[in-house]
Chains A and B, each alone.
Chain A
Amino acid sequence: MSRTQTADRLYAQTLDEVTDSIMATGSLLTTLVQGHMGTGKSSILKVLAERLPTHVPCYFDCTTKDLGDLMVPKILGVDDDSQFVKFVPNEEMGMHHSKPIILMVDEFGKANPSVKNGMMRIMLERTMGTKKLHPDSIVFATTNLGAEGVGDMLMPHHRNRITTIRMKKPTAVEWIENYAFNAGIHPSLILWVKEHGEQLFQSFEDVENPNDDVGGNPYIYHPQAPRPAFVTPRSLELASHWLWAKDKISDNALKSNLIGTIGDRAGSDLGAYIRLVDDLPKQEEIKNDPKNAKVPTTSSAVCMVVYRALATIDRTWLDAWMDYLSRLDKEAQGLFAMQVRNPKYAKQSMVMTNKKFTDWCMANNFMFTADKV
């Protein structure tokens, strides 16, 4: 059951809309982009850099910083022998560039409280110590959704000084079309996502009881269901790397690596899917060389070959198919024959007039006996 749609969810922005918003006012005010874990928030910097080639992209990761990493003191002397301290900012903030910069303050919500306070100056006033950013510079920050429960809660006085927008989690189709094809994601993974995408890309806010058999979601991160690994667009991309490397590792290692990357359920499911896909012979092999075309080792793949043939068979390769079928298990042969006999099967007359098929039926006519009652 879905929870009531909040206004920020209702008006959540796509990656393109977020980028447009930041470009429109990024030099005047700071936007904090909130979104689901691993959905491409960090890629906003890349997109902005492509759109603004005159700006220097600068990435500042808050999770690895302590207060002393923001700037260090430098004691300076002057003519009258007095001394004062000048604070020298971290190079990652890009204050040393004389050109406009795009500063992305990543994982702001996870920052140490003292780092959060320390960063407010550059985020709100574009200054750090005595250094000032180029007036055309753009500053924005990113964080996970507070409701994900990964320590991204912001203090009210921080929130009140910035514009917080919500980035929409992409749907499976959006991810495939806008990202996966261009990012070199493994084709089998794209196919798997295409078939199971709805659950893989579901928002945890739409899942009331994550562990339920019905209405639950065993794939994604959910604050109420601790899972060591889970599916996000980011972890799917990591899984894709394992698929590209699958010829170098054992089946067992592949499955184990997938489980460690996208979680128990998704890793097991994807592993089984890959085995199934790899086990299927190409239809062209069956047509051209039925005596030597690969015979699947798993029963599901055998069944799938039979169903695929039932759907695609035509006169030109029916003989070749019957030769190939004789190499499959008896159950698979029976399955094909039984499906052909179904009165609703559109190609029934074509198959039933084939000599090799009728020979098979004669030899195995007990298959068509009435049930013993």
Chain B
Amino acid sequence: MLMMNNKLTVEQRLWKACTDIVGNDEFVGIASVLMIGSKKVVDGLPTARTNGRDEEYGREFVDSLSDAEFRFLILHECYHKMYKHLTTWKELHDADHKRANMACDYVINCKLVDQDGGRGWIRMPKGGLLDTNYRGMSAPEVFKLLPPQDNDDDGGDEGGFDSHDWDGAQELTEAEKDELGKEIDEAIRQGSILAGKVGSGGLRDMAELLQTKQDWRELLREYVTTSCAGKDYSTWRKPNRRFVGSDIYMPSAISETIEEIVVAIDTSGSIGSHELGMFLTEIKGICDQVKPQKVRILYWDTEVCKEEVYMDSDIHNIEKSTKPEGGGGTNVECVPMYMGETGVKPEIVVVLTDGYLGGSWGVWSSPVLWCILDNKHAKPSTGVAIHI
């Protein structure tokens, strides 16, 4: 005979809910993340709270929830942990803390509602923020779309059923944050293994969470230097002078320098002066290594708006000397077209863009490397892409 749940203490309900989640095929993959940090029931806390590691649940608030709502709440806090919201998006919180809270909540609630698929095993508590237009987006993407919030009042009335202890998250030392990040990362990977073992597909978002971040600077440098390598060869036609004096006839090495690199910069969209400066500093560093004779910068929107050519030693000041020009509209097809018309044949073209293009990715006659800013969905049909 089943007992009536109304008689359970909140602590017992918390334990039971966690066990239910871990035992559910859909969520078994996050068992490890769920168990990271502590879980406490707190008197007087109006809703629930997390600092990205530990969770607190208000006794009266949990009392007002059904078990399906309580499970949703626990998973909601767990997802904040899993997505490392409170340590990763501090800059959003500093810019507009209500909007940051809302963005994180919209992302999580949408995922959880989708994960449940209408079965009702979990149910979003009243007041939760849900908008399916934000499906598949990350917290900063939602943040950009939300209107600015009034942060002057103390009430924190941005909606939602929990509070985010951003300051508490910042109280962790850098070493503790690193350790927590590693712990969460490993828990997600092990959870994925576990989900596979118990025959569950695990979370739909597992693939996204398992992705590793790569340093775009390293990738950019490797690709450009590799593409520009292999220009040295040797020949018997020109004897090696070092050995001629000893009556030994040896071939000599011939080295061809890299002639030209084109850097094509999208002047529309989200590429600001900070991003541009950072990018050109990297380009300059790479040029110090591969030593091209010429670097040509093309600023473009729907046409090439400005061309700057830097020769030899001028390349050293590239990020200080450049003066961007251009405006709205984005059609990269104009760049290869311009290069064809003006007879520019570089070793490599490096394109910096946000990837929101009006036309196609263009037809290129030189190897092209796309450096795509803040747009993980952009997939060039030609060349190689690095996401910044």
Contact = CB atoms under 8 A, between A and B. Distances in A.
A and B associate in one complex: yes
Contacts of B386: 226
B267 to A, nearest CB: 25
A371 B6 CA distance: 9
A158 interface: no
B283 interface: no
Interface in A252-297: 264-265, 268-269, 271-273, 275-276
Contact of B34 (A85, A228, A299, A366): A299
A300 B193 contact: yes
B258 interface: no
B191 A114 contact: no
Contact of B214 (A68, A227, A368, A372): A227
Interface stretch (A99-107, A159-167, A209-217, A319-327): A209-217
Given A66-B253, A114-B234, A226-B223, A273 B211 contact: no
Contacts of A276: 190, 193
Contacts of A213: 207-208, 211
Contacts of B233: 67, 112-114
Interface string A337-355: 0110000000000000000
A209 B223 CA distance: 18
Contact of B191 (A151, A214, A265, A300): A300
B166 to A, nearest CB: 26
Contacts of B278: none
B23 A265 contact: no
Interface string A293-309: 00000111111100100
Given A114-B251, A268-B185, A366-B8, A330 B210 contact: no
Contact of A335 (B7, B23, B193, B384): B23
A249 to B, nearest CB: 16
B235 A371 contact: no
Interface residues of A, number: 57
A373 interface: yes
B262 to A, nearest CB: 19
Question: Which one of B8, B186, B211 has the greatest number of beta carbons of chain A within 10 Å?
Answer: B186
A163 B223 CA distance: 31
B213 to A, nearest CB: 8
A176 B52 CA distance: 41
A16 interface: no
A46 to B, nearest CB: 29
A8 interface: no
Interface string B172-197: 00000000000001110111011011
Contacts of B383: 224
22 contacts: A68-B250, A75-B247, A114-B251, A151-B230, A211-B385, A213-B207, A224-B385, A225-B384, A226-B223, A268-B210, A271-B186, A275-B186, A275-B190, A299-B31, A299-B190, A300-B32, A300-B194, A307-B197, A331-B34, A334-B15, A372-B5, A372-B6
Given A114-B235, A300-B194, A370-B3, 18 more contacts: A72-B250, A85-B249, A218-B212, A226-B219, A227-B219, A269-B210, A272-B193, A276-B193, A298-B190, A300-B32, A304-B197, A307-B194, A334-B22, A365-B3, A371-B67, A372-B66, A372-B67, A373-B67
Interface of B: 2-8, 12-13, 15-16, 18-20, 22-23, 28, 31-32, 34-36, 66-68, 70, 185-187, 189-191, 193-194, 196-198, 207-208, 210-214, 218-219, 222-223, 229-230, 232-236, 240, 247-251, 253, 379, 383-387
